[in-house]
Structures are given as C-alpha cells and as structure tokens.
Structure 1
C-alpha cells in the first residue's frame, strides 16, 4: 500500500504514459493511452466497470507488463518496480490485510516498511476515521479495511498517492473525511491520482479529469473545460416580444414554454446569446450547467436513456 519515497526530479511530471497498451489474448483492455499528470494536482480517472481503469493503474504501478508503450513515475520507468514505487502510496479497490494482525499492528508494520510517515497526523486520521485498532483485521468490514489503507496512505509523505475506487464501503461521514484528506494532501504538494466511478466525488475534488471508454481515453481536460464542450440549458422570462434567437450562433433547441417564458440550449461562447437577450425585455434568466455525470454519459451515448 506504500513504498519508499525519495526526492524526485523537479522537471519530471508525476505520471507520464505514452501509447500504453495492454492485451489479454484477443482482448485489448487498454489501447494507446497517453496522458501526463502534473505534480501537485488531483487528477480524476473516470470510467464504468470494465473500462480499463484498474488495468491502467496496474500498468502505471508496473504490476502488469504493458503489451506496448511506456509509463514513468517522476521520470522512473515503471518496469523498474522497486525504483518507481519509492514515490508512491497506493490504495487498491479491494484492500486485503493480514487477517491475524490488529489494525494497530498493520499500521505499525506499514510505517516500518513504507514511505516516511507523519505519526502525529496518523493519530489525527485514526480519530477522524473512527478506526478501532484493537481488533484483528479478519473481523474488519470492507469499510474498515478501506479505512486502514486510507489512514496508512494519507499519513505518508509519498509524493504520489494512487487511489483506486478508495471510498467503496465508506459511509457518507467517512467519505467526507476522505475528501478532506485529499484536499490536505494537495495542500502539502502531493499528487493524487483518483480513479472513481463516483462523479460527484471527482467533480468536488479534481483539478482535471480523464474519461476512459473501452480502454481508450475519450477526453482529458479541466472540469470547467469539459462543461464548455457540452450544452448549457438557459431559461428566460420576458415582458415584451420574445428574444430573436433563431440565427444566434451557439443557440440550439429553442422551446416556447408559454407564459412569456422560453428555454434553449447553448453551446460554445455565451456572448452572442447574451447580446440577443439584452435586446429583449428579459425579466429573469436561469442558467444550468451540465453536471459531470451528464457530460460522462454523453461520451457513452446514454444521456437520454
């Protein structure tokens, strides 16, 4: 779950993948994936089950060998697993612990064998996650196993945290603590690579997001940039003549709602639509941006299902 950390080269990105491909027989799990994760950012990695997220993470960690392409962590080729892992703390989607050891013993073991640990901060995390350290891991629920892994990872000073579906099994209060920890890690200058299918979580935390579809990247962008690629819904009410939007660039799907109200969707820059509205006697205007979930479903052609 964690590995030894050492000073990293200041010129190298946290993660760099070039043409990364993994085939299992005739099945291609990851195809020609190229991305760069900058230092100090929280990078979201989105996709449904089977999209190739976990396979990509295993490739980035050198846990499986790529069929083609390359990947590096802070400039170290991931094929040299021992060297690359010195920069990483990792929380897998399914946490396995030593069943006969208590939570306290596991954290002690990980602190001795992994990255530098901030012991005072670890005590704070134990309290915040309400983690019972006196029980054997064999008695832990899925959520409690996840808490042990999260406390161990966030307490390290590893420059890169790779988190694969890290909040599975956590209740809403613990999910809130997780989000708080991600923000604190970013504030310390750590890089967080967050793989998740929880769109609100990614939307709340991430600086940029990649959307993975059937093993291929559909998009890599800031969340605000992704929203600009999608239609924005606008609803207006007016007292005089309705605004003339028929030939306004970027205005789509105008709908008369009756009662001197209309709705339209807008794509691209808002300037032309705003100028058209300014010429009318508009009383109210409501703008609704698409959520990340709607953007994500657009990529899969499922928004209207």
Structure 2
C-alpha cells in the first residue's frame, strides 16, 4: 500500500521557489530518506504534505486520502517532528505532553512514560528551562505519543547528544519492525545511510533521483585504490569513466563508473602490490548527483 503519494508538487511563495517538481511514493513499512542541503525544499515538501502549507500545484495523498479533504483523519494517523520546535512557556513537560495527548481518542499515558524514560526526559521541568536538545526530546515524544502509523521527521537529531541519538535510532527501527512507515528528512547522510531502505535526492526543489540504497550504490562510481611500482597515472588519466584521480607515492586513487572487466584488464598490465575496490559512501554519491548538470 502507498502511504505517501506526491505527484507534480509545486509550491511558490510569491515568485520565490519552494519546490518546483516533486513526485514520489512511499510504501507501507518503509523507512524513506529525503536528502538535500538546507534550502533544497525538504521542509516545504513536508509542510505541504501535512496541510501546513497549501500547494501551488500538484496532488498529495496520505493513506490513499487526499490531504485537502481528509485532514482530520490523516492527522490521527501521523506523527510529526519539525526541524525547529517551539512551545508555550509556563507549562511543565508533563502538562504539555498530556495536553497534546488530549487531542487523540486514546490513552497515551503509557507511551508518554515509555518514551520519556527512554530519552531521559524529565517530565517535571518547565518548558522554558529546557535546553535545545531537551526541547527536541519533547518534540520526539509529542510526535510519537499517539502511536502513529506514519512518522514524519524533519532533521530530527539536531541538539541530541550521541547517546540519545543512538537510542532514538534504535527506537525508530523498533517502530518500523512493528509496521510503522517512517519519512526521514536529513542533510546528515550517515543517518540516512544507516536507517533508510530508499532515498530521494532533492536539489533546488526538484527530485533528482529516487532509489534503493543498494541500487544507488551499484549504479554509481566505485572507489578504486591501486598500489603499484609502475608509474600508472597516465594509464588512467584519459580512460572513460575515471574521475577524481589522485596519486601519492605508489598509491593511485580514483572513482570509476563503467564495466569493471575493462578497468580490470587495464590493471592486469601493472605490477600490482595491492588493489581495493569499494562501494562509495552515501555522501560521495550525493555529491556526485549535486555536481552533475544533467541526470
């Protein structure tokens, strides 16, 4: 089942571009990564999905329901953590969370206690006394307290210390194993690489690529490191598919996209001391797509 379906989404703020061409689907039970630098259109897409912004053009459905016609029904099924959290002051954390829980037709007290304990969140603290990291913890609990079927996270780990981040990632994986769908927006590529089944890369309001993590690596450059006593730079400098060639003493490094048999036939002509062929990291793949003028 398609939990999220976005078709031809455009959002402009007057003449200023928010997003220009976003189309994607997210299936039930996926952890879907949405990656791009600040200003690429990630938050605009999410806010439009949640009916916090009205689209200039395009269609969006969640759980098969149009967002414009089924806002209340959709809200009952969705948990959302914005990139920046802001709260009424003068309330304790407990008062805020129970106020949030009052909007749902269920008892959320056990979930509030469970999540607060996991994230080491003090429910007795006043909101105005919380650090940025602790406010982010409040946002996480607030987004998950009603046990939503779809969890939408916009840059969720800002302000969290490494130990809490680890607990948070484990929590997301556990929720996903229960069948929850997670839409995870981030510019921290290691997070996406660690958690997500598929990713969409967005640049200047347009989707450049939607792919599984496995396919994204297989379709892209390989990292090749060669140690040889031969002078081999000239051999690879003008070879099709080779880029980012560097040489240091007897070690040659480059990125290669093409038929591995062809590059291996060239390597066989050398007096090889060592050879390493690696998959690129998500960061290297991401930079590759951002450098390309055409996809």
Task: Please give the range of the TM-score, normalised by the shorter of the 2 chains.
Answer: 0.7 to 0.9
**Counterpart in the other structure of 1:123:** 113
Structural mapping, 1:170-249, within 5 Å: 170-237=160-227
**Counterpart in the other structure of 1:295:** 285
- 2:12–2:19 CA contact under 8 A, matched in 1: yes
Distance 1:248 1:23, change over 3 A: closer
Q: Say which is worse superposed, 198-207 or 69-78, in terms of deviation.
A: 198-207
Confirm whether residue 72 of structure 1 aligns to residue 72 of structure 2: no
Q: CA deviation at 1:239?
A: 7.5
How many matched pairs? 290
Confirm whether residue 57 of structure 1 aligns to residue 46 of structure 2: yes
Distance 1:282 1:32, change over 3 A: same
Confirm whether residue 22 of structure 1 aligns to residue 45 of structure 2: no
- How far apart in 1 are the matches of 2:107 and 2:194? 27
Distance 1:262 1:47, change over 3 A: closer
Aligned-pair RMSD on alpha carbons? 2.8
Q: Taking structure 1 as the reference length, what is the TM-score of the superposition? A: 0.83
CA displacement 1:72-128 (0-9 Å, x = unmatched): 001010112212222201111121223222111222222332375665454332122
Distance 1:287 1:24, change over 3 A: same
Confirm whether residue 43 of structure 1 aligns to residue 43 of structure 2: no
CA displacement 1:42-69 (0-9 Å, x = unmatched): 1111122221111111110111111111
Q: CA deviation at 1:208?
A: 1.1
Q: Which runs of 5+ in 1 are unaligned?
A: 1-11
Q: Taking structure 2 as the reference length, what is the TM-score of the superposition? A: 0.86
Q: Which runs of 5+ in 2 are unaligned?
A: none
Distance 1:122 1:276, change over 3 A: farther
- 1:43–1:209 CA contact under 8 A, matched in 2: yes
- How far apart in 1 are the matches of 2:245 and 2:154? 42
